[in-house]
């Protein structure tokens, strides 16, 4: 009995390190190879010389992948704020708008180079984040959520006024950005600019969570009074989290503006903010990896669904008619139901499901 | 000019007050901050459209149908979405109401198409001229009906035994359970009332404009209204609704039509910073 207990430890013993590291390296190498090869497949619609149909490629294009990468920045920053610091914001679209507006002023109007415009967007985003976080010094919980809603309306109004003062209904134009002599004018070039950027932001956020302040932040999320009693300056930390998160969101907004090459104030409505909350709920609150998955599902599922539309049409059922006539509504309904089901049955989102699955397998293995 | 603006502001504000009252009833009972309240108003308008334009029922029957359907919708929302999330984080509950409004909007647009529909009812729609003041009969009816509904529900909460049980439940779930109140039934009733009040508001909003899912943004003005008035306060919801209606009309005619949202939300931000518990709410005390 005792022997059995000791010979099969409940806690997974550290496995043979060298072999494990090799497997992990191999996994990373494979993932990297896939990510580098992906734009080639999507651009030429062929893999290793074999032509692929639209359906086999899930109806995806490189533009969607790029939009997904930009959305990942927003989802990461919101999950950092909401999932890790415990501050709910429904005003995240406002920081995108801040970034787009900053890029419009310094990039389109003053003609600053693209990297400087991005940096400026990050700085103004951080400032706007501190201002938007100020109510957190006085109110919390539900009231704070509402203050972010109010801030959203204020910032989007400022963007609207700015747009009509200097441009017109058509929106604010942006030139194709230059990185030195490398012009970001094709989807593939954008992809190879955005992919490392997302990786760097992910890595930075992940590491920052393991610093002293990152741990203090999570303590603040779990129990504010306890964290304050342990010597955490909760107020300053909240503002810092807000500034960091909104700087990233604002940079993503500037990137989105340059990527779309034209932006109007309507783009940053409440729906835009809600989609980020949806992404982190689908992916899993507090899980940075989950936010990537959530953003991928949110951005790619619509085109995957429309890829299924022609087949549904051949089946000539009411489902097919529904897919053809009401695609956007159907996508919205599916997303809404997905969120409701996840909230009720899997509060941890995709990340939580993954962990459950892992626990299931590892407990099997140990038994 | 000013009197004209004040009148339409008060009339619209009465409708907002009605929708906000429904919101507050739900919030007091179940502590759910219902972002779907605007969409519930839209659902009410579409229930009326279904009964009148699709089934061609007489107006009285249509109103009864709308009321019953709205109440059933409210009860279903509580059973299917709110009860399973009992005890969960605020974000989960807020997000489930947002997801609900996304689903409802999608379903409505699939069934009725995204373009608006006009709602034809036998309600008076002429204009009375009183001195220099042009009073739209529809605005007047809306205001009067809203006030009648508010008075009716105030009397219901104040004088009936069920109303007493509902107030007891809102005051404290544990105490109510200990006294033998069926808390779940009370909460369902609160959701039914909240949805019904939103539906009546939606009926009038749909008549004053055109019935479409875009009415949601107007119904959502109930949110700033309740916070300005004080989240826990029923008179606060009504006064907040009137204030929002007045501010909307005043800023639309004296500043610019685009500025209405910003003025309302700037006031909301100010209230949150200066007096977070609202004009009529009670200050919440933090406990360790």
Could you say which DSSP state residue B114 is in?
S
- Residue B233 to residue B23: CA distance in whole angstroms: 11
pLDDT of residue B61: 93
- Residue A59 to residue A55: CA distance in whole angstroms: 5
Q: Given the DSSP bridges, would you call strands A178-179 and B133-136 parallel, antiparallel or unpaired? A: unpaired
- Residue A32 to residue A41: CA distance in whole angstroms: 14
Quote the mean pLDDT of chain B.
88
Rg of chain B over CA atoms, in angstroms?
19
Which CATH number applies to B2-117+132-274? 1.10.3470
**What residue ranges do the domains of chain B occupy?**
2-117+132-274
Q: How far is CA B184 from CA A137, B170, B191, B209, in A?
A: 36, 12, 11, 37
Tens digits of residue pLDDT in B29-86: 888 889 999 999 999 999 999 999 888 889 999 999 999 999 999 999 999 999 999 8
Residue A145 touches chain B, beta carbons under 8 Å: yes
What residues does A262 pair with on adjacent strands? A173
Give the helix, strand, coil percentages of chain B, each rounded to 5: 75, 5, 20
pLDDT of residue A320: 65
CB contact under 8 A, B90 and A141: yes
Residue A275 touches chain B, beta carbons under 8 Å: no
Could you say which of A157, A329, A343 has the minimum Cβ distance to residue B95?
A: A343
Could you say which DSSP state residue B117 is in?
B
Nearest residue of chain B to residue A331 (CA atoms): B106
Count other C-beta atoms under 10 Å from residue A215's C-beta. 13
Residue A279 touches chain B, beta carbons under 8 Å: no
Residue with tokens 């989807």: A187
Residue A228 touches chain B, beta carbons under 8 Å: no
Write out the two tokens for B168.
Answer: 């007891």
pTM, rounded to two decimals? 0.86
Q: How far is A145 from chain B (nearest CA, A)?
A: 9
Note down pLDDT in tens along chain A; length 367 residues: 344 434 444 455 555 566 778 888 898 899 888 888 888 778 777 777 777 777 667 778 888 899 999 999 999 999 999 888 888 888 889 999 999 999 999 988 888 888 999 999 999 999 999 988 888 887 777 888 888 989 999 999 999 989 988 888 888 888 888 877 778 888 888 998 999 999 999 999 999 999 998 899 888 888 888 888 888 888 899 999 999 999 999 999 999 999 998 888 888 988 899 999 999 999 988 889 999 999 999 998 888 877 766 555 455 566 666 666 777 888 889 899 999 999 998 888 888 888 888 888 776 554 4
Helices (H), B113-214: 137-159, 161-171, 173-178, 183-208
pLDDT of residue A194: 92
Tens digits of residue pLDDT in B230-286: 888 888 899 999 999 999 999 988 888 888 888 999 898 888 888 888 888 777 665
Count other C-beta atoms under 10 Å from residue A105's C-beta. 18
CB contact under 8 A, B96 and A139: no
Helices (H), B32-115: 37-49, 59-77, 90-112
Tens digits of residue pLDDT in A18-75: 677 888 889 889 988 888 888 877 877 777 777 777 766 777 888 889 999 999 999 9
Residue A278 touches chain B, beta carbons under 8 Å: yes
Residue A343 touches chain B, beta carbons under 8 Å: yes
Q: Helices then strands (H, E): number in chain A?
A: 15, 6
Count of alpha carbons within 13 angstroms of residue A124, beta-carbon side: 24
Phi, psi of B179 (to 5 degrees): -90, 5
Nearest residue of chain B to residue A225 (CA atoms): B288
pLDDT of residue A9: 43
Residues of B in contact with A285 (CB under 8 A): 91
Phi, psi of B20 (to 5 degrees): -65, -35
Residues of B in contact with A92 (CB under 8 A): none
CB-based burial label for A212 (10 Å; 0-12, 13-18, 19+): exposed
CB contact under 8 A, B276 and A157: no
Q: Single out the residue of A200, A204, A230 nearest to residue A217, CA to CA.
A: A230
- Residue A82 to residue A90: CA distance in whole angstroms: 10
B199 or A315: whose pLDDT is higher?
B199
| Chain A interface disruption, residue of B100, B276, B281, most A CBs within 10 A | B276
Nearest residue of chain A to residue B32 (CA atoms): A142
- Residue B169 to residue B187: CA distance in whole angstroms: 8
pLDDT of residue A33: 87
pLDDT of residue A5: 39
Q: How far is B133 from chain A (nearest CA, A)?
A: 33
Count other C-beta atoms under 10 Å from residue A271's C-beta. 14
CB contact under 8 A, A343 and B110: no
- Residue B250 to residue B259: CA distance in whole angstroms: 10
């Amino acid at each position: 009995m005792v022997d059995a207990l000791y010979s099969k430890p409940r806690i997974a013993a550290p496995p043979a390190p060298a072999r494990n590291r090799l497997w992990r390296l191999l996994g990373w190498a494979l993932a990297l190879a896939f990510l580098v090869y992906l734009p080639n497949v999507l651009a030429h619609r062929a893999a290793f010389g074999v032509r692929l149909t639209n359906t086999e490629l899930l109806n995806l294009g490189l533009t969607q992948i790029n939009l997904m990468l930009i959305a990942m920045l927003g989802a990461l920053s919101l999950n950092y704020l909401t999932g890790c610091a415990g501050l709910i914001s429904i005003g995240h679209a406002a920081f995108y708008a801040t970034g787009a507006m900053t890029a419009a002023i310094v990039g389109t109007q003053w003609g600053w180079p693209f990297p400087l415009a991005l940096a400026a967007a990050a700085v103004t985003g951080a400032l706007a984040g501190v201002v938007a976080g100020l109510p957190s010094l006085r109110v919390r919980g539900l009231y704070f959520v509402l203050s972010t809603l109010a801030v959203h309306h204020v910032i989007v109004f400022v963007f609207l006024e700015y747009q009509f003062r200097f441009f017109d209904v058509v929106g604010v134009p942006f030139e194709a950005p230059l990185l030195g002599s490398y012009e970001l004018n094709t989807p593939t070039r954008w992809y190879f600019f955005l992919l490392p950027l997302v990786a760097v932001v992910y890595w930075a956020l992940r590491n920052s969570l393991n610093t002293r302040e990152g741990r203090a932040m999570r303590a603040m999320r779990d129990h504010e009074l306890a964290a304050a009693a342990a010597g955490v300056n909760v107020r300053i930390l909240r503002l810092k989290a807000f500034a960091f998160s909104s700087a990233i969101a604002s940079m993503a907004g500037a990137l989105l503006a340059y990527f779309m090459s034209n932006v109007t104030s309507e783009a940053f409505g409440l729906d835009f903010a809600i989609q980020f909350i949806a992404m982190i709920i689908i992916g899993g609150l507090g899980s940075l990896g989950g936010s990537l998955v959530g953003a991928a599902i949110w951005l790619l599922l619509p085109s995957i669904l429309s890829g299924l539309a022609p087949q549904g049409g051949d089946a000539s059922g009411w489902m097919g008619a529904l897919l053809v006539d009401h695609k956007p509504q159907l996508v919205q309904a599916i997303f809404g139901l997905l969120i409701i089901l996840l909230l009720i049955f899997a509060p941890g989102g995709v990340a939580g499901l993954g962990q459950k699955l892992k626990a299931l397998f590892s407990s099997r293995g140990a038994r | 000019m000013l009197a004209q603006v004040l009148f339409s502001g008060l009339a619209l504000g009465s409708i907002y007050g009605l929708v906000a009252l429904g919101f507050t009833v739900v919030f007091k009972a179940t502590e759910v901050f219902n972002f779907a309240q605007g969409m519930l108003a839209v659902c009410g308008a579409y229930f009326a459209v279904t009964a009148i334009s699709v089934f061609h029922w007489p107006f009285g029957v249509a109103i009864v149908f709308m009321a019953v359907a709205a109440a059933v919708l409210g009860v279903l929302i509580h059973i299917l979405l709110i009860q399973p999330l009992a005890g969960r984080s605020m974000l989960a509950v807020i997000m489930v109401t947002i997801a609900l409004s996304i689903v409802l909007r999608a379903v409505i647009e699939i069934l009725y198409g995204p373009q608006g529909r006009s709602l034809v009812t036998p309600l008076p729609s002429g204009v009375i001229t009183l001195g220099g003041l042009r009073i739209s009969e529809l605005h007047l009816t809306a205001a009067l009906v809203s006030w009648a509904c508010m008075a009716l529900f105030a009397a219901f909460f104040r004088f009936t035994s069920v109303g007493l049980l509902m107030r007891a439940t809102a005051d404290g779930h544990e105490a109510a359970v200990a006294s033998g109140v069926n808390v779940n039934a009370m909460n369902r009733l609160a959701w039914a009332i909240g949805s019904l009040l939103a539906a009546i508001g939606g009926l009038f909003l749909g008549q004053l404009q055109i019935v479409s899912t875009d009415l949601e943004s107007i119904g959502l003005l109930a949110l700033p209204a309740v916070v300005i008035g004080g989240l826990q306060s029923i008179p606060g919801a009504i006064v907040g609704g009137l204030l929002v209606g007045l501010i909307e009309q005043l800023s639309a005619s004296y500043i610019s039509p685009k500025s209405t949202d910003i003025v309302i939300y700037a006031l909301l931000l100010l209230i949150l910073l200066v007096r977070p518990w609202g004009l009529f709410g009670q200050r919440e005390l933090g406990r360790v």
